Structure 1
């Protein structure tokens, strides 16, 4: 037998031979000492070696014989199930999983520390029935090989970061019952022939909250399908609603809202007599308002914000026997509202804002005790008959009836509702330890917690406690079948920006203060595997659980009490196994380091940089940027102390630091597995080392030492423009300050486009990438996605699309041809965000479209009063506001050729500032295109308390199609 020292194999081939030898030896040893099948034991031990924070008893080499937490085996000691929900696992899912050939269920849900891609070798698991990876951090493409899992019935990959298109091979999964790919970053079109049209036995199509585009193919639906839920909401789908939907008679929930669908609503939808929830809002649907008389099961209807023909009040309003919620805002409905509509007994909420209703509104005879809200804002109602009939929420703001009666209750926007429901405590509260919670039965314990998301509830009255009581009883009953549960608690219910009903859940243990690891895994499985079936009023749901560290800590504590016995019993074989495993792990680690270093060297080849070398000739000679050693960085940040941490983004953490000369700096340190790669790091270093302007963030230096990627910037104390607009930074930006900020940002961009050689396109302009210095001067930051255009004569460069959804130029997205006008489009969206303080896409509404539809040049402030940020103060004079809006809309023209250049944008902002009584060159020592290359004195002031993120990036919103 080779000694452990032989593991120091020098070459890559030797590493491989060394690894194979020790893994082979380990497998042979497992055959002798383990009840578990040797192949399965080797695979699970390999995963245990790679994962961090595994369950407390994953220390032996015999998963089946020692009853590893989350592992189930059959009579032949083959592993058939892995269920490790909510246990805080960290690591990646490697190809070792393929050797568990008897595996039928894999549930790793709610482990945010699980990252990386889904290995293609997962297609080898021919007996897999359940694949559930909800709420992790997996990314990359869904492998085509997943279509080889012919027995699969439950596929839940929702709430990760998967990209690319939906693999057409999914159409091979003929046994699939549940298909959930929602809440990822999937793009491309809906696959058919082969594709989803083949899944005739599937009951759930959940694809919402992605970036899918193209049409919804007619072929996807047929009369022999058994679908009950079709969820394509919050995507970029276009074209018309396929009439073939009317063939799916089993359908109960249909969500197509928040897309770009056009054309009329097909009359065939009236055939869907089982549909209870219909969501078509926030599209571009045209034609007549559909007659839904035949949809007798409808309880929730939302067709707001479309482009239907003008019509009178439809008769079907008061003919649907189960209708609780009617949302038809901005639907061009007119005429006088019949009083009988409001007496329709099931109704809870009626939202008819922004229509053409007129005449007198009579609510004097309303007897419907369930009707909580009537919202008729912005109509033409001239008078109201109140009587004593209706005493709940009625909103008539923006109607002629309120012109002279602004003091009346219904002529005011109502105050915020009372706090949302929270499960009451049925006893006298007691004091708990600081790290425990009080259950509804007043016992102190560590609850299992998470968030429930209901995708389409059939009710809208969130103040009705009856619904919550029902849900509490159903949840507890479902858990008690598997886990001893004392009680469940619900709180903080609200409808989020994706129109999902969201609420927090806590589950408390019975007879003890903490759930065991096995209990936690079972609770997570009940919710991830949809074992819990709520009543139909709640509709489809998903759950995102939180890691439950208490069980792991307690189990480890108990285990430590028996440690001497365990060590004594297993000293011989276990010690040898640990040595072998450690050696194998060492080899794997060394290979990984070599590979990572090689990749970095290759990416940095143009620098002629040799890591670890102290020779000055090996350090990149980049103008203006200083090379720091890792020890220099550690010293200036006090060894990356938590006290110096000022930000945390997809790239890594940001720390304040002080250089030897007293200069304050911001140090951005990449973490392993960062979303910003070596190429982006190099791009930012090289670009900021050769462009210098007072409205661009200044790069002080960088560190590429000891496998670290670190960028050092000048410290900018007032955070980002995004934080100021949201109120997080404490910096108040009035109209004039906002004009000066966008002028600075425009000047920085104009310099990149017109004076840099070659011209540079930033590609990620947004408020979180605009920093504000001590004088609120704007500095454009985060150049990791920036791209030089090269040949000016060509006018563009063909490149992979990168940017942030909402700010991304649609022409660039469609053609993949990048020009300076792509930045102009993003800047236009930023201008609109500046006057509205809204995210570009909020509640499914795109700010560009909202402004375009709302603006009326015949009115004061172009009629945008409701969209304008209240912090601007509409009572104040917003000089040049109309010109500002016109400039923004020019910047977001669909065709780049119709947009101004950034130089023209700068001049127009300067003109607008003069209309606002400002001097555009005040506080400026140079013209709009000047260099700021002179040496700067170090900034000397104490650390501020503002927190900001120099990464300037929200990883979940980055768009990088492959």
Structure 2
């Protein structure tokens, strides 16, 4: 083989040996620094090539780390400044790792290409850094369910591409930021669809300026804060709104008269405030399904006639709203009505629900009023609650209406049934799946902020959700065999909670990739609840439990480590020998040596053929043990006294 071709083959061998290390060296250094500050990492986070070695949760584009998805794998530690070196990062998901604590680093603002940031359901503390406003390509920002404090940084208003803003369930305080000519604010987020800011300690008034007619906002969730003052009339300008939750605050004054301009609104929660004046006239809000005005200081009023025009209404709650007079029969004939709660008012006369009541009606709660008589209709599926009325003070009244009914056992309301399974024979730490398999499911709680039903005993609604979940997992090739739902219940925020168990496919437990796939699908809302005709569920979030049964735990970590060391040592020796030979050969070449072109050599093509064979062998033998020495090889080539001339 001609000397020049021999050198060419030698260099090809070296290049093949080193090219396998495809991860950018700066990204490798950043990930190694993060490794040093995190615990419970995936077992395959070893070696010097995260991209080439397919580290769990790491995805790369052109040798740069572009995605980190490590949701719900039990990570512990802090998010250090090293994350800022991953400048090509587009997705960062560390959600549902409660062991991730400490402050969010200000350097996170250097991740200019970040589009999805999911740090929800962790243990992060401290303030949200103002540098978060530098992430101007951000579409999803989920920091909910942490222990974050301080104010919402005004710089959030710079995130003009934001679709989803979720800062709920923290300890955030202060006022809602709006722009003032020099600093941005929430009013600048005209493209954002979701403001989820509930369950914090936000205070002050809701600024008039925060809302405008050009906003795309569909969900406004400010419940469970310490907000005061009136509801701004500008709220009526946001025509796209579907859900408004302002309950559990200290809002006061009249409800704006233009609120009925929100004709697309499906959920309106104003309960547990200090609202006063006349009841709002909501005529024309034909899409409204849930209306809750309870526990406010409205003027004395009869049941308003406009209620009968809300043809989509499923749930009406007007407890302690100073209602008086008779209960009109036509109220019960709304076609979709399931629940009506009017307790703690001054309603009087005879209760008669008529004969044309909704076939979905399940609960009528008129406790603690002045009802003197009840005309029964023989309806068997409707719970009537009349305790605390004069009607129940008469002797001989049935306890079905006048007693305090026992609290329903939420576990008995629904649990996914087994598929004709034989008696279980699972070990003590395994669970019997709906498909009769013993396994370790990934579990957690689904929190639905929005639901379009109030009858928690209707099992069809849960079956539809269960089928929808399985359809999503199958169509996206998730390693899921079956799912189980149980224990439906409402919390104090009027969220529907459901226990969820997801069972692995083809094995007894999930690996880390499987769990993080599920966590990401929920955090990013990639999974969306059932479409029509079962449009019963809306916005939600998922808090996963710690999973302790990963199938990719190393079986014998000592042997595995020894193997890695031996492989690396052997590979390094071979590489060193190749480099040494190349250096000696290059130094011995004379600048004025005769050169003949490869094309004029009749054996040139044969040499190239052998070189290709060597290349193939090198790929097979040395791919697993690679190092970054490309720069050294280039240096040798440059110093070889014009060898390529």
TM-score category of the 2 structures, normalised to the smaller one: 0.7 to 0.9
Distance (whole Å) between structure 1 residues aligned to residue 572 and residue 37 of structure 2: 18
Distance (whole Å) between structure 2 residues aligned to residue 276 and residue 560 of structure 1: 59
Q: 1:458 maps to what in 2?
A: 452
Distance (whole Å) between structure 2 residues aligned to residue 50 and residue 59 of structure 1: 15
Check whether the contact 1:364–1:389 (CA below 8 A) recurs between aligned residues.
no
Residue 160 (structure 2) aligned to one of 163, 174, 189: 174
- The answer as to 2:383 corresponding to 1:426 is no
Residue 39 (structure 1) aligned to one of 1, 26, 41: 26
Residue 278 (structure 2) aligned to one of 273, 288, 295: 288
Distance (whole Å) between structure 2 residues aligned to residue 560 and residue 470 of structure 1: 48
Q: Deviations over 1:348-387 (max 9, x none)?
A: 1100001111111113535433111100011111111114
Alpha-carbon offset, residue 561 of structure 1: 6.6
Residue pairs, 1:24-63, within 5 angstroms: 34-63=21-50
Q: Deviations over 1:230-270 (max 9, x none)?
A: 00000000011111111111111110000000011111110
Change beyond 3 A, Cα 1:526–1:559: farther
Q: 2:408 maps to what in 1?
A: 417
Distance (whole Å) between structure 1 residues aligned to residue 379 and residue 504 of structure 2: 48
Q: 2:597 maps to what in 1?
A: none
Q: 2:632 maps to what in 1?
A: none
Alpha-carbon offset, residue 344 of structure 1: 2.0
Check whether the contact 1:366–1:390 (CA below 8 A) recurs between aligned residues.
no
Distance (whole Å) between structure 2 residues aligned to residue 470 and residue 574 of structure 1: 58
SS class of match (1:415):
coil
Change beyond 3 A, Cα 1:561–1:326: farther
Alpha-carbon offset, residue 407 of structure 1: 4.8
Check whether the contact 1:454–1:538 (CA below 8 A) recurs between aligned residues.
yes
Residue 129 (structure 1) aligned to one of 109, 115, 128: 115
Name the Cα RMSD after superposition: 1.9
- The answer as to 2:471 corresponding to 1:477 is yes
Q: 2:218 maps to what in 1?
A: 228
Change beyond 3 A, Cα 1:467–1:242: same
SS class of match (1:150):
coil
SS class of match (2:30):
helix
Alpha-carbon offset, residue 40 of structure 1: 0.3
Residue 557 (structure 1) aligned to one of 555, 576, 580: 555
Alpha-carbon offset, residue 549 of structure 1: 2.5
Residue pairs, 1:847-858, within 5 angstroms: none
Distance (whole Å) between structure 2 residues aligned to residue 359 and residue 313 of structure 1: 13
Distance (whole Å) between structure 2 residues aligned to residue 492 and residue 449 of structure 1: 13
TM-score, structure 1 normalization: 0.55
Distance (whole Å) between structure 2 residues aligned to residue 479 and residue 112 of structure 1: 25
Distance (whole Å) between structure 2 residues aligned to residue 371 and residue 547 of structure 1: 40
Residue 369 (structure 1) aligned to one of 359, 362, 371: 359
Residue 568 (structure 1) aligned to one of 551, 566, 569: 566
Residue pairs, 1:772-791, within 5 angstroms: none
Distance (whole Å) between structure 1 residues aligned to residue 572 and residue 453 of structure 2: 58
Residue 112 (structure 1) aligned to one of 56, 80, 98: 98
Query: 4+ runs of 1 displaced by more than 6 Å?
Result: 30-33, 558-561, 572-575
Change beyond 3 A, Cα 1:121–1:88: same
Q: 2:538 maps to what in 1?
A: 539
Residue 335 (structure 2) aligned to one of 328, 342, 345: 345
Residue pairs, 1:651-670, within 5 angstroms: none
Change beyond 3 A, Cα 1:182–1:389: same
Q: 1:890 maps to what in 2?
A: none
Alpha-carbon offset, residue 201 of structure 1: 0.3
Residue 89 (structure 2) aligned to one of 103, 108, 116: 103
Alpha-carbon offset, residue 563 of structure 1: 5.1
Residue 394 (structure 1) aligned to one of 378, 384, 395: 384
Q: Deviations over 1:776-796 (max 9, x none)?
A: xxxxxxxxxxxxxxxxxxxxx
Change beyond 3 A, Cα 1:31–1:102: farther
Alpha-carbon offset, residue 316 of structure 1: 2.0
SS class of match (1:200):
coil
Moved more, 479-488 or 64-73: 479-488
Q: Which runs of 5+ in 1 are unaligned?
A: 1-29, 576-962
Distance (whole Å) between structure 2 residues aligned to residue 366 and residue 384 of structure 1: 17
Alpha-carbon offset, residue 140 of structure 1: 0.2
Distance (whole Å) between structure 2 residues aligned to residue 41 and residue 526 of structure 1: 27
Check whether the contact 2:236–2:260 (CA below 8 A) recurs between aligned residues.
yes
Alpha-carbon offset, residue 482 of structure 1: 3.8
Check whether the contact 1:482–1:522 (CA below 8 A) recurs between aligned residues.
no
TM-score, structure 2 normalization: 0.82
Q: 2:73 maps to what in 1?
A: 87
Alpha-carbon offset, residue 317 of structure 1: 2.1
SS class of match (1:311):
coil
Q: 1:658 maps to what in 2?
A: none
Alpha-carbon offset, residue 60 of structure 1: 1.8
Alpha-carbon offset, residue 63 of structure 1: 0.8
Alpha-carbon offset, residue 420 of structure 1: 2.4
Distance (whole Å) between structure 1 residues aligned to residue 280 and residue 248 of structure 2: 18
Residue 448 (structure 1) aligned to one of 418, 442, 446: 442
SS class of match (1:557):
coil
Q: 1:791 maps to what in 2?
A: none
Q: How many residues align?
A: 544
Alpha-carbon offset, residue 511 of structure 1: 1.5
Alpha-carbon offset, residue 61 of structure 1: 2.2
Alpha-carbon offset, residue 213 of structure 1: 0.1
Q: 1:529 maps to what in 2?
A: 524
Distance (whole Å) between structure 1 residues aligned to residue 356 and residue 405 of structure 2: 20
Distance (whole Å) between structure 2 residues aligned to residue 335 and residue 172 of structure 1: 52
Check whether the contact 2:169–2:200 (CA below 8 A) recurs between aligned residues.
yes
SS class of match (2:73):
coil
- The answer as to 2:507 corresponding to 1:512 is yes
Distance (whole Å) between structure 1 residues aligned to residue 281 and residue 434 of structure 2: 47
Change beyond 3 A, Cα 1:119–1:574: farther
Check whether the contact 2:20–2:52 (CA below 8 A) recurs between aligned residues.
no
Change beyond 3 A, Cα 1:238–1:572: farther
Q: 2:209 maps to what in 1?
A: 219
Check whether the contact 2:362–2:381 (CA below 8 A) recurs between aligned residues.
no
Q: 2:619 maps to what in 1?
A: none
Q: Deviations over 1:800-859 (max 9, x none)?
A: xxxxxxxxxxxxxxxxxxxxxxxxxxxxxxxxxxxxxxxxxxxxxxxxxxxxxxxxxxxx
- The answer as to 2:248 corresponding to 1:254 is no
Q: 2:293 maps to what in 1?
A: 303
Q: Deviations over 1:725-776 (max 9, x none)?
A: xxxxxxxxxxxxxxxxxxxxxxxxxxxxxxxxxxxxxxxxxxxxxxxxxxxx
Check whether the contact 1:31–1:37 (CA below 8 A) recurs between aligned residues.
no
Residue 399 (structure 2) aligned to one of 405, 408, 427: 408
Change beyond 3 A, Cα 1:574–1:201: farther
Change beyond 3 A, Cα 1:47–1:504: same
Q: 1:501 maps to what in 2?
A: 496
Q: 2:320 maps to what in 1?
A: 330
Check whether the contact 1:187–1:213 (CA below 8 A) recurs between aligned residues.
yes
Residue 69 (structure 1) aligned to one of 56, 73, 81: 56
Residue pairs, 1:752-767, within 5 angstroms: none
